Structure 1
Amino acid sequence: MKYELVLALQLILAHVVTDFLLQSEKLIEQKRTKKARAPFLYFHAALAGLLTYLIVQDWSMWLIPVIISVTHFFIDLWKLHKNGNTLKYFLLDQLFHILVLLGVWLYLTDNFDAVIPFITDLLSSKAALVIGIGYLVVIFPVGFIIGLATQRWQDEIAQEDELTSLKKAGRYIGIFERILVLTLILTNNFSAIGFLIAAKSILRFSDKGKSGGRKQTEYVLIGTLMSFALTIIIGFLMRVLVF
């Protein structure tokens, strides 16, 4: 177990150093501009494999850095051709790199045979199912319910040209706050939820004096309280089922 953990950390370290520490904005711009003709793209891909080889120090596994370099090259090239300077393509790029590292880790630790049993056990675990479903519910259905419940107030504010918040900002704030609240409930940190409510209330009431600020503040607080209430209820139901 210790070897497996150390190996995973070594692979992650090599990737983080290669992809984030050893790339300057100038070199990244060279890749974006020249794509497959960028010399740094080839150097960067080779460095990904070489650094992994040096950090892992398993000199007999020379094929591993080759695989990492080749896959790193094609993943980065795919992202460049997608003009992927967005969060979506950044996350996809990192996901593909992580999947490659996961495959390498499974190969080096001889754990390929354990993948299917692990997935089977996970899908058969009551705790895993409850937690997974709980987070999905607070992220998606709860947000949809709150959106429908507060739609009339949102329309009222929009008609008066008083809706001045960033586009979809409220949705993402709600998602993150529900994830945070649910996590606090599941980890027995109930007091921290009060601080979250207080902090958000202070931020929102700071806009109260602005034109149309009162209506928008009331609208946001209604949504916030609904979000917190539903998440707390779901969190306690999960605790009853799991603990």
Structure 2
Amino acid sequence: MPALPEVIQTAAPLLLAHVIADFLLQSDRMIERKTRPATLALHAGLVLLTAALLLAPTTQEGTIALAILTVTHAAIDRIKLHFGDTLRPYLIDQAAHLLTIAAIALVTPTLWSDSLWTALTETSPLTTAMLWLAGFIAAVTAGGHAVAKLMAPYHAFWTRRRILGGGLKDAGKMIGQLERGLTYLLVLAGLPSGVAFLIAAKSILRFNATKDDRHVAEYVIIGTLASIGWALLTALCVTALTASLEIAAANP
């Protein structure tokens, strides 16, 4: 059984590569056109490029692992196209990508120790930083997609009732990103109680908009709890992984 710190160190750059390729480098247009083989191949190429840059393998084993990661990623995305763009397929798709990364790290845990980066710098702070950054992207951007898909079934009703009209363009999206980002950073900073103040502040600011309309109140409650809950879960997972690395570094 491979040592857990080795597995986490190998998984960290692969995880960061995944969230960068899926949520920063993949545009809405690419998502819409992914049924086209050329677009899917372009996305797979971005997955390979980011993983190669962040892992920097120096062995044949590492090259094979990246090839498997790329092909598997493309296959998972291709299968997802048959199930629509709703919350459940989205979550299953992301879970499948994470399981692929975990499997590669478990089977080939020495990929990071054989990486080019290990010869250039102290690797423990680097992998910790990769986990922090991957978690931040997952909390803010991936969480935004998840919450949007959760709330999507109600959009037609809200549009008919004009419940959510009249605000600044994309203000709701930005508010969600800010609350998830702040939640994530507060937990990583060891200040989880600050999340309660964040929820309280949003409740006060939204009070006038929600006090007279139950529909708006329910929308705000569901969206806020889902958004902050996603960020909390992400932060707790990253905290657990980084704690394992710190324990290993302190007890070599």
- Normalising to structure 1: TM-score of the pair? 0.47
Q: Flag the structure with larger Rg.
A: 1
Structure ranking higher on relative contact order (CA contacts 8 Å, 6+ apart): 2
- Normalising to structure 2: TM-score of the pair? 0.46
